């Protein structure tokens, strides 16, 4: 059973377009993180959201935690080829266990 | 550099063999996670240790085992290897204090079973 569902699984868009990636669950998480992974490398932490309804911005990336702390979204404005990668969301549950979604593979075409 | 060190970076071995993957967490982090990532797949949680004790277990095969030592480094042992065990194996560490469990990943060990 996949506790965190990410959608879409694959997304290929043109440079300059906007996009949103979703991370959904029926479970409540104490915090939620977004990671970006490039081929052959380990995931790198982008952001952590903790409070329901919280919005965090990282340059052209906007992260939102759902009010009920069950879901999150990542919005990228004016996507660039350098944004290409696998985006993973992860929710923290009791005993500090991290649960990862399957990821969204994003390709930005020049 | 995440501060998490994994060795070796690459490993090629034959079916039926046994290998040990090593992970040194970030300084001060008590929690270590092991994940498996097959080609173009997401991260599959294997096992978590916290301060030397097993904390959580995921879809880890009986042929696989792990431990965390008093100096907090961890080892993942994979035995009776099969072709399907070929994957990237990641170690991550976190401080596990408070509500945020931010994990910092090593660069992974790419295991190829031939």
Predicted pLDDT of residue B32 = 92
| A100 touches B at CB < 8 Å | yes
CA–CA distances in Å: residue A18 to residues A55, A102, B15:
17, 22, 46
Q: Is the pLDDT of residue A1 over 80?
A: no
Region B84-92: mean pLDDT is 95
| A88 touches B at CB < 8 Å | yes
Region B28-54: mean pLDDT is 88
- Interface contact B101-A97, CB threshold 8 A: yes
Contact B74, B96 (CB under 8 A): no
Contact B112, B14 (CB under 8 A): no
Ranking A28-42, A51-65, B38-52 by mean pLDDT, the lowest is B38-52
Enter the tokens of residue B109: 């060990």
Enter the tokens of residue A58: 């990282």
Q: Is the pLDDT of residue A94 over 80?
A: no
- Interface contact A99-B45, CB threshold 8 A: yes
Compute the distance between CA of residue B52 and CA of residue B49 in angstroms, rounded to an integer. 6
Q: Tell me the pLDDT of chain B averaged across its residues.
A: 91
Q: Is the pLDDT of residue A98 over 90?
A: no
Q: Check residue A27 and report its DSSP letter.
A: S
Residue in chain B nearest A105 by alpha carbon: B40
Predicted pLDDT of residue B80 = 97
Interface probe with B: pick from A96, A99, A102, A104, most Cβ of B within 10 Å: A96
Residue in chain B nearest A104 by alpha carbon: B42
Q: Is the pLDDT of residue B28 over 90?
A: no
Q: Is the pLDDT of residue A78 over 70?
A: yes
């Amino acid at each position: 059973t996949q506790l965190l569902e990410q959608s879409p699984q694959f997304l290929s868009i043109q440079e300059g377009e906007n996009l949103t990636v979703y991370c959904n669950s029926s479970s409540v998480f104490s915090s939620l993180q977004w990671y970006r992974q490039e081929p052959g490398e380990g995931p790198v932490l982008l952001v952590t959201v903790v409070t329901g309804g919280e919005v965090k911005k990282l340059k052209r990336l906007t992260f939102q935690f759902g009010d009920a702390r069950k879901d999150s979204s990542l919005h990228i404005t004016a996507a660039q080829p350098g944004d290409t990668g696998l985006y993973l969301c992860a929710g923290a549950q009791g005993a500090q266990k991290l649960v990862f979604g399957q990821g969204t593979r994003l390709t930005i075409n020049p | 550099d995440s501060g998490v060190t994994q060795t070796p970076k690459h490993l090629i071995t034959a079916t039926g063999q046994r290998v040990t993957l090593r992970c040194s967490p970030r300084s001060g982090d008590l929690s270590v996670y092991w994940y498996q990532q097959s080609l173009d797949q997401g991260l599959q949680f294997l096992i978590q240790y916290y301060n030397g004790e097993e904390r959580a277990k995921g879809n880890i095969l009986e042929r696989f085992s792990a431990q965390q030592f008093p100096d907090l480094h961890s080892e993942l042992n994979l035995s009776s290897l099969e072709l399907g065990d070929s994957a990237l194996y990641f170690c991550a560490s976190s401080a596990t204090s408070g509500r945020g469990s931010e994990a910092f990943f090593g660069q992974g060990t790419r295991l190829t079973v031939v």
